[in-house]
Structure 1
Amino acid sequence: MIKSALAVLTSLLFIHAGLAPAAAQTVNNTAKKPVKKAVAKRAAQPVSRTVAKGSLNNREKLVRKVTVVKGKRQVSYQRVSAAPSVPVVPPVMTAGDMAGLNLTPDPLALRSNVALVIDQANSQVLFEKNSGVALPIASVTKLMTALVVVEARQNMEEVLTVTDDDVDREKHSSSRLRVGATLSRDDMLHIALMSSENRAASALGRNYPGGLPAFVAAMNAKARSLGMMDTRYVDSTGLSSQNVASARDLAKLVVAAYNYPIIRQYSTDPKYMVEPSGHALQYNSSNRLTSNKEWDIGLQKTGFINEAGHCLVMYTRIEGRPIVMVFLDSKGRLSHVGDAARMRKWLVDDQPSNLTRMKMVRADEG
């Protein structure tokens, strides 16, 4: 009996000893699981707290990044600066666009809404596109400014002073002539025609007998005398979009201005040096074609304001023919120059019948 009792006791002790490690391991595993979850929870807490507190400023955003490391999926978050939003600026609509002129097709695919090309030898219209529509003409206005100044026979050596009245407060354009700068009327006319200097053109109008109102009246009177019935001027610079004319009217102005050598020379000089108040300034032509040896330009004027687009008028010779060109409301900084080159090529290469006919006209006139 005693041996049997000892055997049973020994078995119980052995079983208890064997179960103890397993039980301990089970307990340890059970204890570890909550620890791992707690650690994972603590690792995730900073991210969730950051989002919950809304600590991101207006220029930051939270980017979620998922990676796999040793077969385990890991999620992380990173602050990055958000790209600033760029406002969408609608394209500037010119007066011609608003009138629907941009819908007019032409065989040369010109970028100008208005075009007119005339053979001055016989007044024949070679090309025409919306030429009867009055539009803003920007600094082409200065061609009439020059015509009024020259025909007024004012003293060209008289020294004029730029004043605060000459500062552009409509378009806020810049000028190299400071308030207080002095130049002769001749120099003012030169840089107004060649470089479209606005303060020079303003000073010319302001120093007319009776001031600027009388000068503008003289501009409109001259337009009427030339038969420019679609034309209206309100200033001497062209900065106002209320200065309007049709291409047909501007062709008449080009022909009238071409009669004066001083306007021909000043408008076509590629560069000119002036010394306002003793400080040397070099001005360059606003029309790059004046420096192009392939062109024979006798008179030109460019212009630009948003409402008018890019404008160009010229009196030139092509294959010996006197040609008047007018381009208004062109899109692109050099598009009016490109249209002139396109037109010149068309007249020379693609219109042999016109070339032959014009040569015959000149021969008959001779």
Structure 2
Amino acid sequence: MKLFASVFLAAGLLAATASTVQARDRHPTPVPPAARLTALRSSAVLILDPKTKQVLYQKHADAVMPIASLTKLMTALVVLEAKQDMAQTLAITGADVDRLKYSSSRLRVGTRLPRSTMLHLALMSSENRAASALGRNYPGGTRKFVAAMNAKARALGMRHTRYVEPTGLSSANVSTPRDLARLVVAVEKHPLVRRYSTDREHTISQGRDRTVYHNTNRLTASRSWKIRMQKTGYISEAGRCMVLHAAVSGRPTVMVFLDAQGTRARAADANRVRAWLASLNPWARN
């Protein structure tokens, strides 16, 4: 009887172990509490593993908020998926001048540049006139372009996102961290977006003058970061915003930060998140 009892006990332990292994295989590895992230200064955050679609951390991830120049990622996606001629020359006109926020621009009215350069400046330096020109030169003009932006958002499952113009100057361009993570995953697949958004510097000619543009995201200049794609944004209604598609401990990671308070807050938040993820040894090995 003792022998049979031992056999049954061993069988039960094996079954329980197998059940535990199967349950572990069915569900993502739980992420330890993010105690380090209580100091984040962004109002809304989402950290995503784009391979498994596991949300590693979230804070007000479904809050609908203005997104400023993060808008330009959808602008780029619509232009690229329309397969417009990237070598075609576009002109900056008075229609591209900001009459909403009256923001300044070093891109002069009358300047003519290839569509690829307009996209480059819009993604790297968040050049509003370049983004406006991209939308205005879409078949049917800006109105049709904005319609295409919203149609693409719906196709990506961005249910709480709305665009009214292609630059991000309007606070009526809104989204959520969860929606924006979907956009980041989609747009990162395009090599031009990866290249232009992470380029550190680009020079253009305007008449006899040369104008040097720099990346709006200082993390792109850091050797400790491995960023595949990024975009920053700012208007007063949106605060400081940033999205990243970066490698942390050799693993792809999507980070979305909205409404960070302070000039350097979004970069500081990204560094905190990276340090936290790097400390999760099981996560880093998987």
Note the C-alpha offset of 1:278. 4.8
Alignment pair present for 1:354 and 2:273: no
Note the C-alpha offset of 1:180. 1.0
Alignment of 1:50-69 (within 5 A): none
Alignment pair present for 1:245 and 2:180: no
Of 264, 269, 289, the match for 2:194:
264
Identity %: 55
Alignment pair present for 1:116 and 2:29: no
> Which ranges in structure 2 are unaligned for 5 or more consecutive residues?
1-34
Contact 2:250 2:284 in 1 (8 A): no
Alignment of 1:59-138 (within 5 A): 107-138=37-68
Note the C-alpha offset of 1:106. 8.1
| Secondary structure class of the residue paired with 1:146 | helix
Query: Please, what TM-score do these two structures have when normalized by structure 1?
Result: 0.67
Of 43, 61, 71, the match for 1:141:
71
**2-side partners of 1:300 and 1:119: how far apart?**
16
- Residue equivalent to 2:253: 323
Note the C-alpha offset of 1:280. 1.5
| Secondary structure class of the residue paired with 1:348 | helix
**1-side partners of 2:87 and 2:128: how far apart?**
20
Contact 2:36 2:276 in 1 (8 A): no
- Residue equivalent to 1:221: 151
- Residue equivalent to 2:82: 152
**1-side partners of 2:267 and 2:36: how far apart?**
17
**2-side partners of 1:136 and 1:221: how far apart?**
19
**2-side partners of 1:107 and 1:259: how far apart?**
29
The CA deviation string for residues 288-333 of structure 1, in whole angstroms up to 9 with x for no partner, is 1111110000000000000000000010001111000000000011
**2-side partners of 1:108 and 1:352: how far apart?**
20
Note the C-alpha offset of 1:354. 2.7
The CA deviation string for residues 126-152 of structure 1, in whole angstroms up to 9 with x for no partner, is 110000111000000000000001111
- After superposing the two structures, state which structure 1 stretch, 110-119 or 272-281, moved more: 272-281
Query: Please, what TM-score do these two structures have when normalized by structure 2?
Result: 0.86
| Secondary structure class of the residue paired with 2:38 | coil
Alignment of 1:143-292 (within 5 A): 143-292=73-222
Q: Count how many residue pairs are aligned between Structure 1 and Structure 2.
A: 252
Note the C-alpha offset of 1:213. 0.2
**2-side partners of 1:210 and 1:122: how far apart?**
39
**2-side partners of 1:344 and 1:306: how far apart?**
27
| Secondary structure class of the residue paired with 2:243 | strand
Q: Does 1 or 2 have the higher relative contact order (CA < 8 Å, sep 6+)?
A: 2
**1-side partners of 2:208 and 2:144: how far apart?**
31
**2-side partners of 1:245 and 1:142: how far apart?**
13
Alignment pair present for 1:340 and 2:267: no
> Which ranges in structure 1 are unaligned for 5 or more consecutive residues?
1-104, 360-366
Alignment pair present for 1:299 and 2:229: yes
RMSD: 1.2
